[in-house]
Structure 1
């Protein structure tokens, strides 16, 4: 969790306590390591932020949304793409095939309404990502969902 992540992060009183508790127990360090490895292996900071924002939207995690919106802007993602991310399926011209496949996988892994990731979603992701990249993308989606749940459970 970067210290300069965003205004909500900076002013939320619970963040410091939650962060300390997580780090003291090693959970935060383990999730930070997973997040860092997944982002590095994915090799596309813009895609990583889009994925983390979308999962955070679905999980209603204001803390993570604030952080990743700030980081996305720092990585050059424009306001139109950020503003329409929740409706990415309708905004076809704003997201390329790779991003769309990653966002579909993010939604499938985050919501799990069918109890599993549909084959068509996984297969489309596999078209756009090699085995290593796909493993890192899945790791990133897993990490942000874990962060979201930790922050939401602590009402951060």
Structure 2
């Protein structure tokens, strides 16, 4: 797939995340428990993922490959996912979806640029450049403009 196709897929993924955030925040408000909404969302995500893997995987990892995975990688992604998503569900009804998503994306992008600069999480090095710095400052200005009442 070419780069434009990947960019479109990334954009669609962002739309899906905003939709699920809004829907599951609504679930958390109705149930009066954002963490329970997270549990329900992750349970249904597990079921959908299972079906997708079942129909789209030609092979599964071997026992040897599974044993090569460091123990922390089996759990920490899920922990951060639950914390991040639960915070989304908690803050969307209080802040509004545009404010929450803009602040959430700001946090993601700033962390991603810093993590890329230092190669954290075993990711490729992507040095902070003047262009990236201008991009982050522009995004922060955009967030301020989005959130001015």
TM range (shorter): under 0.3
Q: Could you state the TM-score of these two structures normalised by the residue count of structure 1? A: 0.27
Q: Could you state the TM-score of these two structures normalised by the residue count of structure 2? A: 0.28
Higher relative contact order (CA 8 A, sep 6+): 1
Larger radius of gyration: 2
